[in-house]
Amino acid sequence: MDAGCPRLPDTVLFEIFLYLDHADVLSVGLVCQQWRAVARDEFLWKELFYRYYRVSRDVPRHPGAVSWYDEFQRLYDTIPCVEVQALKEHNDQVLHLSFSHSGCLFASCSKDCTVKIWSNELDISLQHSSNMRPYNWSYTQFSQFNSDDSLLLVSGVFVGPHNSSSGEIAVISMENFTLLSRVRNKPYDVFGCWLNETNLISGNLHRIGRITSCSVLWLNNAFQGIESENVNVVKRLFKIQNLNASTIRTVMVADCSRYDSPDLLLDYEEQLAASSTCPVFDLGSDSEEEGAKPKPPPEPAVQELPDARGVPAEHGLQQLFDGIMEGHVRPAMTETELESKVAKLFVQNRTKPPEPNLLSMDSNSKTKYLIFTTGCLTYSPHQIGIKRILPHQMTTAGPVLGEERRSDEFFDSLDHVIDIHGHIIGMGLSPDHRYLYVNSRAWPRDCVISDPMQPPPIAEEIDLHVFDLKTMKEVKRALRAHRAYTPNEECFFIFLDVSRDFVASGAEDRHGYIWDRHYNICLAKLQHDNVVNSVAFSPVEQELLLTASDDTTIKVWRSPRAVRIRQARRPRPRKLLFSWLLNQKS
């Protein structure tokens, strides 16, 4: 035993450790040999872990962990929570951040109407800045590198005639930072995304009535100016009717090829089955079992009207018109209600059937999912639509208007719909594309929407939902910690990002947040002076995180472990003056 270190019972010693600061717990072994004797005791570290992080005892250890001691150290030492740099080259609100797949570069978009390219070296530095104002842009809002990092998609708000605003997508070459092409994008919060190395998806919106519209999603070749004389550079992917003032927004593409080999399984029973061939014991509580029960399937995107009574849609539409003309429709409907009912009846008979069951898809398939926000009750996005993209649809070759349709297939139906019951303000995919994370602000539990232009009030708390795209079910409980304060009509997108082990999000409460994906616990709050709009993990180093804020700064955060390693690599300046004084004294 170390001199001066009194011998204490292990149970008493452990209780003391529970009240120590986290860093003290890890360093106390350097002081007391008695602690070193129990430092690797699995039972003690397991108890300490559950108590310190307030994790339910039904939650098993992370499948990649060797011991509870290592897990405790991982959650302390590898969270990117130490600010190492603040980038202040933007002069207005910074709205979005995106890394290249190699992690060597990242891009930032801002209300100052520039997109800036940064070099991710030991110290991050600005490599290039493109000003989009000469193209009549109001600001840049989103960016994404293509799969080989040779092209950058930049989305922004375009100011048209009579100061009307729409969206536009620009494609920039990473070789010489030249602008290759521009594509209109309406509404602007469709953002746009890459489907593959050379093709990107944009949107267009056509008004049919006051609260009825049609969203068309287009596939565009990135090299339009070069190839347009010889081959098609655009092709219509899908045409979807929008009801009750809703529109399609925030498109993204999920690659289904890795669903059977994800980086991290979030279902605990699935984790155990994958990690061992031994008999699996039920570690879940009653509440966990209830949470794991299959939920009722969501209602289809196109529903049978209650008063149709099995009558074909075209006859139902004719009966509705006859009833109006003869005065039999009671009670009298408003103009909005009439338009909504007619649109529903019309879409029933003019929509192409959905693709076969998504869950029966071959795990090695090259199929991809197009994922976007939508709705059916009001203009605020409250549903997630999923549409399968088949291999032959992934090129602009072929007819511009896509596959031939029968006369009664005017619209495409959604293959799957996830109802969020709240205003969706952010979405992000896990690196393996198996899980979809969704930021939303909930509606009141029993709210009724009678006017699509008057959505329900939304909560200040932001719920972070997790959906398994292989089973199309919600997994885990919603994460909470972050908050937002703007009302429905002023609500804006807060970008989140997911790494192998963590998920991070911005918030309106002037903080960024980090959670552990396995344990469902909040690990860190990252402070700014204003709203945090976007976060981004390095795809090759999850101990590096960027946050972007309305305070015009981009902050760089690294883990305590990464900071120690970086400091050890830096050459230490020699204290010449101090050495000279010592020599003079001697």
pLDDT tens for 386-397 read 999 988 889 887
Give the integer Cα–Cα distance in Å for 540 and 144: 16
Same domain assignment for residues 27 and 100: no
CB half-sphere exposure, 537, CA atoms < 13 A: 27
Beta strands across the sheet bearing 213-221 = 193-194, 199-207, 213-221, 234-242
In this structure, of 14-23, 102-111, 388-397, the range with the lowest mean pLDDT score is 14-23
Same domain assignment for residues 96 and 180: yes
Q: What is the CATH number of the domain that holds 30?
A: 1.20.1280
Per-position DSSP letters for 22-67, written without gaps between them:
HHHHHHGGGT-HHHHHHTT-HHHHHHHHHHHHT--TTSPPPTT-S-
Phi-psi region of 244 (alpha: psi -120 to 50; beta: other; left: phi over 0): left
Same domain assignment for residues 462 and 545: yes
Give the integer Cα–Cα distance in Å for 567 and 185: 46
Same domain assignment for residues 427 and 529: yes
Q: Is the pLDDT of residue 360 over 90?
A: no
Element (H, E) at 347: helix 335-349
Give the integer Cα–Cα distance in Å for 372 and 427: 9
Structure tokens at 213: 């519209």
Residues forming a β-bridge with 94: 110
More reliable by pLDDT, 22 or 194: 194
* CA proximity to 169, closest of 232, 217, 212: 217
Give the integer Cα–Cα distance in Å for 29 and 544: 28
Averaged over 247-268, what is the pLDDT?
Answer: 88
Between CA 223 and CA 464, with CA 539 as vertex, the angle to 5 degrees is 100
Band (pLDDT 50/70/90 cuts) for residue 251 is: very high
Q: What is the CATH number of the domain that holds 155?
A: 2.130.10.10
Look at the block and give the residue holding tokens 């797949």: 101
Same domain assignment for residues 88 and 73: no
Q: Is the pLDDT of residue 254 over 70?
A: yes
Tell me if 379 is assigned to some domain. Answer: yes
pLDDT at 103: 97
- DSSP H helical ranges for 39-173: 42-53, 68-77
Same domain assignment for residues 461 and 384: yes
Tell me if 160 is assigned to some domain. Answer: yes
Mean pLDDT of the chain: 81
Tell me if 139 is assigned to some domain. Answer: yes
Q: Answer yes or no: are the C-beta atoms of 507 and 515 closer than 8 Å.
A: no
Tell me if 333 is assigned to some domain. Answer: no
pLDDT at 410: 80
pLDDT at 14: 54
pLDDT at 48: 83
Same domain assignment for residues 426 and 519: yes
Tell me if 583 is assigned to some domain. Answer: no
In this structure, of 235-249, 251-265, 366-380, 537-551, the range with the lowest mean pLDDT score is 251-265
Give the integer Cα–Cα distance in Å for 336 and 450: 10
Q: Which one of 61, 78, 95 terminates a domain?
A: 78
Residues 510-531 pLDDT 10s = 999 999 999 999 999 999 999 9
Structure tokens at 461: 């708390």
Q: Answer yes or no: are the C-beta atoms of 544 and 538 closer than 8 Å.
A: yes
Number of domains in the chain: 2
Same domain assignment for residues 420 and 380: yes
Report for 42-46, 131-135, 160-164, 568-572: range of highest mean pLDDT: 131-135
Same domain assignment for residues 112 and 73: no
pLDDT at 396: 84
In this structure, the strands spanning 411-412 and 351-352 are: parallel
Same domain assignment for residues 427 and 480: yes
* CA proximity to 243, closest of 353, 329, 338: 338
Same domain assignment for residues 38 and 167: no
Handedness of CA 488, 342, 251, 203 (dihedral sign): negative
Give the integer Cα–Cα distance in Å for 542 and 6: 41
In this structure, of 108-122, 144-158, 501-515, 570-584, the range with the lowest mean pLDDT score is 570-584
Same domain assignment for residues 199 and 60: no
Element (H, E) at 227: helix 224-227
Q: Answer yes or no: are the C-beta atoms of 210 and 339 closer than 8 Å.
A: yes
Band (pLDDT 50/70/90 cuts) for residue 299 is: very low
Q: Is the pLDDT of residue 291 over 50?
A: no
Band (pLDDT 50/70/90 cuts) for residue 279 is: very low
Beta strands across the sheet bearing 137-145 = 137-145, 151-159, 165-173, 179-185
Q: Which range marks the domain in which residue 27 is found?
A: 10-78
In this structure, of 110-124, 179-193, 358-372, 495-509, the range with the lowest mean pLDDT score is 358-372
Model-level pTM? 0.82
Between CA 446 and CA 453, with CA 448 as vertex, the angle to 5 degrees is 140
Q: Which one of 53, 78, 103 terminates a domain?
A: 78
Band (pLDDT 50/70/90 cuts) for residue 258 is: confident
**Total residues found in the chain within this entry:** 586
Letter for the amino acid at 473? K
